[in-house]
A and B are shown apart, each in its own frame.
Chain A
Amino acid sequence: MMRKFFAHRNKKKTSPLMQRMQQSQIPDQELSSSVKENLELFRTLLGNPNDLLIRSFLIGNSNHLCAVIAIDGLVDSAMLHTQVLGRIQLMLSIAEKTVPVEPDEILSLLFDEVLSVVEIKKETSLAAAVDCILSGDTALIVDGTSQIILIDSKGWKSRAIEEPVSEGLVRGPRDGFTENLRDNTVLIRRRVKDPNLRFESMVVGKRSKTELLVAYIENIADPDLVKEVQRRIATIDVDEVEESGFIEQWIEDDFLSPFPQSNNTERPDKVSAALFQGRVAILLDGTPMVLILPVTLGLLMHSPEDYYERWIVGTLTRLLRYLAAFFAVFSPSLYIALVTFHPGLIPSDLAFSIAATRDGVPFPAFVESIMMITTMELLQEAGLRLPKPIGQTVGIVGGLVIGDAAVSAGLVSPVMVIVVALTAISSFAIPAYHLAIAFRMIRFFAMFAAAIFGVYGVVLSLIAILIHLSNLTSIGHPYLAPFAPHMSKDWKDLILRAPVTFLKDRPEMLHAEDEIRMRTGDSK
């Protein structure tokens, strides 16, 4: 249903998209053959900004006027001096090489012999030239010809490769993606030396012109999957794309679902592992968050550490995580259900002591839980926003308020505090932050159900959640695979993590072209 909606939405937008493309684009115009006119063109188009570098000079012993144009800060100025300007001056002026008279020949001479830069191209269109200059190229204009040379001289300041903040591990590589797309591809290439690794380049955002790469390994990844991802990205019609979250929200299957339908990570090891499984990664310039598609609920419950540690450890941690997921969603609702509707289900001694602690509490269990869980959410949000040194204070204040003061004031019962603590800790144990948020949202739904129908309501809410999950897809792949549809092969790496020698196949659900990742039989 959602996909139909998705297709419909795109169909409607196609024609206005074309119109708007023409409006916001630079006039499709050829460059002039005069340097002065060209410079004027660039100046007016860009609004003559103060970071526009223009250097005009006469070439060699001829009287041909030339100019270089670049944006200050986007280009590596040392490289510009030594490799471009320096080379032109040295080779043509001092070496007294004869400079041809024809402007086109000068251009070819510069292009073929003088400039010692790897990435270099000729261009005649104004729009393309401006695009390149804005993304860090240097333009070289020669008087008398409408062709210009574009030299790749990108070199801006970027953050160093650091340890990923949002996904810390005890064991595993320490490097994380940065905001620089090139660094990120390097981090992946260093892990994937397969010649079949593909980075399909696309540009998103009509005004921001952000570069986007669709990464996959050809002859592992299902071609249909790659095609579908590219098709969906091509439908993106926005002015600017700041973060991969924009992409995620544009291409997801169901925008009403609380569950994330793609994984995002700043860990290159996670991305390369996903690529080798036959998944697709989307890298976006300007953000360290890389998207992995398609995902399943099972995948989101995995952490790379499961594979780095021995299989027993990996398996037990996963079991623990599934338990945590259950607690994160259902512990407050079970508390409400048991205390309000079925005190008979609790052993009598415990039931009495709970009743005794709830004696002075003026609110029903539901109100009590909503109060405490909301406070917990507030603390979590506040702790996130505050600078690190103050963040700790919030922890202490929150701990005191939740833990002690609320109980002494008689607002909540001590058992409630235990439930809230259990819930909060459990939701932190979920490896994917966006999945943990989904669980936090469903928690309220389950609490309402429990407040109305007790344990019956909790089971109904569980059924409703499972119905939703069963209908959910990620790029057309069932979200609950391999639970349902059942794929027995994939169960080896689901709740349990079988010893590495057992993990011989790629996930069945991805329809990988090369399904086998280990040929232990051959090596014997």
Chain B
Amino acid sequence: MSKPKDSTDDGDRRAFITKATVGVSAACSVFPFAAGVPAFLDPVSGNGDNVDEVPWSKVAPLSALPEDGTPTRFGIVRERVTDAWTTLTNVPVGAVYIIKLGEKVKAFNLKCPHLGCAIDHRSDRSDFFCPCHNSSFSLDGSVSDDASPSPRGMDGLETKIEDGFVYVRFQQFRPNLADKVPLT
């Protein structure tokens, strides 16, 4: 390179060109990423969050539940579910354990509050047990063994009985927290 000596003007010019080149090149490189940033971040923007009230799902006739309080597992079918662009009708969205206590019922989400595995009911021991990480829960849903990794008891769900049928407000909660925080 033939750089003329003692020409500060030229030196300034070169410094400016270098800066401009770096700046414009950087702008060009960033541009295509920037074009997609909002779309990419859409899932955390709150745009698709479900703000509707949790609907009641009809689960089973009260008479189908054992009188002795043995938990029974039922699937939850929701009338209308929207998955991105598709609107589905009568879709199984999860499962619950229902326990009859006299004229009342209790419902637990099948998912383990630890990390979301499906919880088994062990009839021989009359308790609940998660086969993934060995959390165990008693029939009232509370953690029954101090060695259980689950930070909270099983997720109870709101229930009601109407015309002899059990209804549940089925929802999911954030896993691995001591508190029950609904997923939206």
Bound together: no
The residues of B with any CB-CB pair to A shorter than 8 Å are: none
